[in-house]
Amino acid sequence: MRFTGLGAGLMVSLLVGLGAGCVNEMQRFEYAHSHDHQELTATPESMLASWTSDGDWLVSPRLDAIDGASRAGVLVGLLLPDRTPTLEARLLTPEGPGPWLPLDATWSDEDQLVANVDFGDIGTGAELRVRVGDMDAFGNLRFAAVIPEALELDLSTDDLETPEVASAAQELRSELQGFGIVTRAQWGARATRCTSRDASKRRIAVHHTVTSSSDPARQMRGMQNFHMNTRGWCDIGYHFLIGADGRLYEGRPLHLLGTHVGGQNSGNIGISFIGCYHTSGCSGFGATRPTDAMVRKVGQLMGSLRRIYGINLSTSTVMGHGQHAGQSTTCPGANVRSRIGEMINIGRSQTLSGTSSGGSTGGGTATGGSCRHTYGGTYGNLACSASYQCCNGSWRARGACGSCACVESTGQRGCSAPSGPPAGAACTHTYGGRYANTACSPSYQCCNGSWRTRGSCGSCYCTESTGQRGCGT
C-alpha cells in the first residue's frame, strides 16, 4: 500500500482497526476535498485584530477539521525573504489540546514558504501560533489542518513508498499549444503523482487562490508544494490559472481529475485567478480586482475548452466555486464572481486563437484562407490533415483553430467539408426533437442512434438546445 502524510505504521494500524471499508473512505478524499477545505487565511492586520495574545505569541482561532486532522501546514508569503518565522501548531482533541510542536519547512523560494508538522494522532482541529517578534516578516499565510490524502492504493504490494508518475515533462494538450500558455515545464512544476483520469469534461469552476499575486510563476510553485506537501494531494488542484500578468498557467494536466470543488470534481475543469478578489479580507494579498486582460484571457480559454469538449457555456455549466451545491465558501470572491457572465459571453464568441468560436453547423468550411499540402491536396480553413490544421491559410497543430471541419490524412486529395451529416442512425430526444448522427443537445450527442456524452463521436454536427425542434443542417 502507498500512503502520504501519516507515518506508514499509523496508517496501517488505522486500516487494520477500521476494516476494509476504510480504504474506500481514504480513496474518497480526492473527490470530496476542495482547495480551501479546512483552511483559514490571515494577514498581519487580521492576526493582530482577531488572534489571541499569549505572552510572546499570537494564537490563531481554532481551525475545525470536520474530516479529522493529523497534520498542520502553512503556505506563507514573506515580506522578508531572508527571515524564516517561528511557527508552531497543536492538535485539538475531545480530551484537550496537545503540545505545541514546531513546523518544519518542506519547500521555500524567495518570498514563499511551505512548512508542516505531523502530530502522530488524529484530532478534531488545530491551532497555530506565531512569535510576535516575527510579525514584520509576514505578508500573508494559509493554514490547513488535514488528514493527508491517500494516493492511489496499490493493494498488490506492501511497498509504502509514494509513487511518482510521469516524471518527465508532460506536453500541453495539442489544441492549446501555441497560445502562450505557460506550461508546467516553464513555471517549474514538480512531476504529477495523479493517476485518476477524467477525460470527459462538461463544466467549469472558477476560483481564486487567496495568495499573493506579485510573481505568478513563484505562486504556482508555492501552491503546488502546499497542495502536495501539506494536503498530500497528487498535484496542484486546478487545471489552469491566470496571473495578474495576464498570462495563463497550466496546472494539473487537463485529462486528470482535478481537486478544487468538494464532491464535484468529476467532469469539472478548475480555472483559478491568482490572488485574492473578495470585497473584504483581501488586504495584504495585492490587487483585489481582476484586470480586463485577465477576464478576457479566461473567457477565450473557456471558448477553446468549449470547442475541445463541446461544453455549452452557460450560468449552469460555468460557476464560481461557492455557487456549486454544498459549498460554503466566498471563492472566487465577489469581484471575480461578478464577471463570470462576461467570461461566458467572451467564450461563446472567441477562443485563444482570437477567432470566432461560432456554432457547429456542419454546413461547410469556415471562412478563411485555404492551405496547400506538400503532397498537393488543398485544405479549406479549419480542415485537418493527419497531424496539422489549416488556420486561415497557415498550417498549425491540430485543434489550433477549433474542431476539424473535415479530415483527409494522405495529403494528396485535399479536404472539403461534407455536404451533410455523417451517415448513421438518428436519435429522438425525450422532448420530441429528432437529432441527426453526431448532432448535439446541451449535454449529449447522438452517436449512430444512441445518446452518449458530448464529444463521444467527434465534433457536434450541429447543436440544438431545447430538445423540441431537433437538429438538422
Domain ranges of the chain: 33-146, 176-349, 359-419, 422-473
Residue 190 CA to residue 155 CA, distance in Å, equals 26
Mean pLDDT of 301-318: 91
Burial class (CB in 10 A: 0-12, 13-18, 19+), 24: exposed
**How many angstroms separate the CA atoms of 460 and 443, rounded?**
11
pLDDT band at 380, cuts 50/70/90? confident
pLDDT number for residue 158: 39
Residues 218/176, Cβ–Cβ less than 8 Å = no
Q: For 214, left (φ over 0), alpha (ψ -120 to 50), or beta?
A: alpha
CATH 2.60.120 correct for 33-146: yes
Residue type, 391: C
Q: Which pLDDT belongs to residue 170? A: 62
- The size of the chain, in residues, is 473
Query: What is the identity of the amino acid at 259?
Result: T
pLDDT of residue 458: 74
How much of the chain exceeds pLDDT 90, in percent? Answer: 36
Burial environment of residue 332 by CB neighbours within 10 A (0 to 12, 13 to 18, 19 or more)? buried
Yes or no: say if 286 and 244 are a contact pair by the CB < 8 Å rule.
Answer: yes
Give pLDDT, residue 433.
Answer: 85
Q: What predicted TM-score, i.e. pTM, was given to this entire model?
A: 0.67
Encode pLDDT of 312-348 as tens digits. 899 888 988 777 776 767 788 889 989 999 999 999 9
Whole-number Å distance between alpha carbons of 148 and 418: 53
Confidence of residue 92 (pLDDT cuts 50, 70, 90): very high
Asked if the domains 33-146 and 176-349 are classified in one and the same CATH topology, the answer is no
pLDDT band at 252 (very low <50, low <70, confident <90, very high): very high
What confidence tier does 34 reach under pLDDT thresholds 50, 70, 90?
A: low
Q: What's the whole-number mean pLDDT along residues 426-449?
A: 86
Q: Which top CATH class is 176-349? A: alpha beta
% residues pLDDT > 70 (the chain):
83
Torsion, Cα 141 147 152 156, to 10 degrees, reads 150
Q: Tell me, what's the pLDDT at 420?
A: 63
- Average the pLDDT over each of 30-39, 87-96, 324-333, 384-393 and give the range with the smallest value: 30-39
Return the axis-axis angle of helices 292-309 and 340-349, rounded to nearest 10°: 50
Q: Which region among 152-161, 345-354, 364-373 has the lowest average model confidence (pLDDT)?
A: 152-161
Q: What is the pLDDT, as a whole number, of residue 247?
A: 92
Specify the 3-state DSSP secondary structure of 138. Answer: strand
Q: Please give the helix or strand (H or E) that residue 17 lies within, else none.
A: helix 8-18
- Neighbouring residues of 95: CB distance < 8 A, sequence distance ≥ 6: none
Which region among 59-73, 122-136, 188-202, 355-369 has the lowest average model confidence (pLDDT)? 355-369
Rounded to an integer, the average pLDDT of 2-30 is: 30
